[in-house]
Structure 1
Amino acid sequence: MSNDIRPFRIDIPQADLDDLHTRLAMARFPNQLRGDGWSRGVPVSHLREVAEYWRTTYDWRAHEARLNEFPQYITEIDGLGVHFLHVRSPEPDALPLVLTHGWPNTFVEFADLIGLLRDFHVVVPSVPGFGFSDAPKTSFGAPEVADMWVKLMQRLGYDRYGVEGGDFGAYVAPEMAKIAPDRVAGVYIIGGLGFPTEADLPEMTEEERAGFAWMMDQDWIKGVDHHALLRSAPQTFAYGWNDSPVAALAWMTQKFHEFNASGKPLEEAISRDAFLTNLSLYWFTGTFGTSAWPYFDSTEIGWPEGQPTVPTGVYNGPPGIRRFAERTNKIVHWPENNPAGHHFVAMDEPSAFAADIREFFAKVR
């Protein structure tokens, strides 16, 4: 295994950009099905508009240049090439902080956040199979990713650091604390701890049961079951996502629409360009299928449980219930009124998110 850390720059060949534009121009759209709004999926009129914007207005080169402003590297860990951003703070005693993205995001999720965390040494690895990181060759899980990140931080010379995660990262971050409790200062996740299940109903108050009913009625719960789809046949669907940019656009639009917990229309929560930069990274790297492994390597859906050793904080507790989260965590930070956003809060509310990260780690470092 090589311990070399090599500088990396994004440089998508012009032929790939031209191919994308040609495929978008030749797209064969279906007829609109009966039903109101999004009741049958992404409306054809909306997708046509965004596809045309992607083809004629969106400027990948401008966003590629912006991403290349972040120092980026590739290193080999456990036989896999790992892409990561490493943005050092000007503060000499800054705490290193690992940010771990989830699905359907990439490291692009943190593009607006990193500049707000100048009092941290920020490390943003791309999860294996996402973006420019190699895909796993064997069965894999959050513990294996966490072990890779611990090795990465050791390779970078960091003995003590904080960890953050959302979505899949909310499983990885606590695993890092389990592996290296003497190194991890604190575990901070966007949400998911203490989320109630039907098994918890007998212990819940009337108000908590109403909150549970509300949660189960949200699009991010009852929408298209990507867990089942990606667990059962990711190879089958990857043909469409990898070959047709409109199919990929429709799929990502569906999931971003369902995962949007901000209470605002998606394009008010996340700019169209930010959404398309994330999507374009999937398209140019051909990682729609390889990024599905956290699902096809799982057997069931389960909320993050966390860990009991290292202090834990969340961006926003509800709809989690703190006493349920404290069954398996040492909770020291549980705000209930941070601005909404949840799954995409780093993109939707980067300033509020950065402020809350700073508040949590001031308590534990």
Structure 2
Amino acid sequence: MSTDIRPFTINVSNEILDDLRSRLRNTRWPERELVDDWSQGTPLTYVQDVCGYWAEQYNWRAREAELNRFDQFVTTIDHLDIHFIHQRSPHPDATPLLLTHGWPGSIVEFHKVIEPLTDPTNHGGDAADAFHVIAPSLPGYGFSGKPTVTGWGVDKIATTFAELMARLGYHRYVAQGGDWGSGVTTALGALDTEHCAAIHVTLAMGARPKLDGELSDAAKRTLEHLQYYRDWDSGYSKQQATRPQTVGYGLVDSPAGQAAWILEKFWAWTDTRDSERCGHPEDVLTRDELLDNIMLYWINGNAASSGRLYWESFGKGTRHTVDIPTGFAVFPEEIAPPVREWVEDGYTNIVHWAEYDRGGHFAAFEVPETYVKEIRMMFRPFHRAAR
């Protein structure tokens, strides 16, 4: 099996773009919801507005060129193509930093932070804060291959990404992730301790609440978030964890369906508390940015293959204990903001803990300046250790 690292450029065919516009123009719409908010799902008028813009005004070629400003590659690991951004810093002593996204995200989440992280002297930082950024597309997501066998859960992805870092010649590195990226990063911190010097996460997947005694304000807040998630926000997760193939048929066939499926989560999980439109996702991210991310699910028909990560991982993974240095960033509108007393058993060497007033589930996407400062602050003590 080849270990070659092959240059990659995003170049979507005109046939795919023409087919997309045709499907958008011929969408068979449901009737509108019976409420005046998002409580029954993504509102009809909003999805129609977004899809009309997508078909008639959205300029994929311009957005494609924006994404192609980053150096991209593909390599085959365990018979699967792994696509990744590998943006090297102009500073030769930069620290390798592995960034891992989740669902319903993609490498698009990082488009505002890669340049400040790799070239800090041009973005308000010091050369000592420089990183070589490696940002893979998860298997079954974006331009990575779709697994053709079972077994591609969080631990398998972590060992694959560890092999990717070794193949790139990075014998010591640091890692950061959110959503499924937090799970993959946690697994790297437990399984690749010889090479991973430190990790940073924003979501503590699998942390067990401690309910004995008087609860802290942070614990009460997160319990409220978790209750809301269980009652009103977790249907997508149950579907993808149990029958990802079934939901895939509709989402792969209908761009309107794929957009509504993803947009609902950006409405639910971004920090829109001060939104002028009562929680509108476009008060946090631009419509083009939202569509850029959706395109990475549409282009290669990744609805089922991305959803299978839930099927592969829920209730099937190892509960890891991470002993290497770990940092947490707590954003108030995260699905379940981490609670320190809940995570200390699983992360025994917490060296950094920061809490912020703004931000949600997609930190690098929503609050990029805060995210960059946080990454610099967390990993500054580990630059020498990672080289």
Q: How does 1:200-239 map to 2 (within 5 A)?
A: 200-205=210-215, 207-208=217-218, 210-218=220-228, 222-239=232-249
Per the TM alignment, residue 205 of structure 1 is displaced from its structure 2 partner at its CA by 2.2
Per the TM alignment, residue 286 of structure 1 is displaced from its structure 2 partner at its CA by 0.8
Deviation digits for residues 83-104 of structure 1, max 9, x if unmatched? 1110000111110000001011
CA contact (8 A) 1:165 1:173 kept: yes
Per the TM alignment, residue 244 of structure 1 is displaced from its structure 2 partner at its CA by 1.0
Structure 1 match to 2:289? 274
CA contact (8 A) 1:317 1:334 kept: no
AA of the residue aligned to 2:295: S
Distance 1:207 1:9, change over 3 A: closer
2:169 is aligned with 1:157: yes
Q: Distance in 2 between matches of 1:160 and 1:299?
A: 30
AA of the residue aligned to 1:226: Y
Structure 2 match to 1:247? 257
Q: How does 1:316-327 map to 2 (within 5 A)?
A: 316=330, 319-327=337-345
Q: Secondary structure at the match of 2:82?
A: strand
Distance 1:178 1:143, change over 3 A: same
Deviation digits for residues 109-137 of structure 1, max 9, x if unmatched? 11111011021000011111001111222
Structure 2 match to 1:122? 133
Per the TM alignment, residue 323 of structure 1 is displaced from its structure 2 partner at its CA by 2.4
CA contact (8 A) 1:73 1:85 kept: yes
Deviation digits for residues 243-282 of structure 1, max 9, x if unmatched? 1111111111112212224534311111111110110111
CA contact (8 A) 2:272 2:283 kept: no
Distance 1:227 1:301, change over 3 A: farther
What fraction of aligned residue pairs are identical, expressed as a percent? Answer: 37
Q: Secondary structure at the match of 2:299?
A: helix
CA contact (8 A) 1:220 1:259 kept: no
Q: Distance in 2 between matches of 1:204 and 1:220?
A: 23
Aligned residue among 165, 184, 204 for 1:172: 184
Q: Give the structure-1-normalised TM-score.
A: 0.93
Q: Secondary structure at the match of 1:96?
A: strand
Q: Give the structure-2-normalised TM-score.
A: 0.88
Distance 1:325 1:222, change over 3 A: same
Per the TM alignment, residue 345 of structure 1 is displaced from its structure 2 partner at its CA by 1.0
Aligned residue among 138, 151, 159 for 1:139: 151
Deviation digits for residues 135-161 of structure 1, max 9, x if unmatched? 222222111111111111111111111
Q: Could you list the runs of 5+ residues in structure 1 that have no partner in the other structure?
A: none
AA of the residue aligned to 1:96: P
Q: How does 1:1-365 map to 2 (within 5 A)?
A: 1-118=1-118, 119-136=130-147, 137-192=149-204, 197=209, 200-205=210-215, 207-208=217-218, 210-218=220-228, 222-263=232-273, 264=275, 265-300=280-315, 307-316=321-330, 319-329=337-347, 330-336=349-355, 338-365=356-383
Deviation digits for residues 204-246 of structure 1, max 9, x if unmatched? 4263553244323545873142221012221111111111111
Q: Could you list the runs of 5+ residues in structure 2 that have no partner in the other structure?
A: 119-129
RMSD: 2.1
AA of the residue aligned to 1:242: V
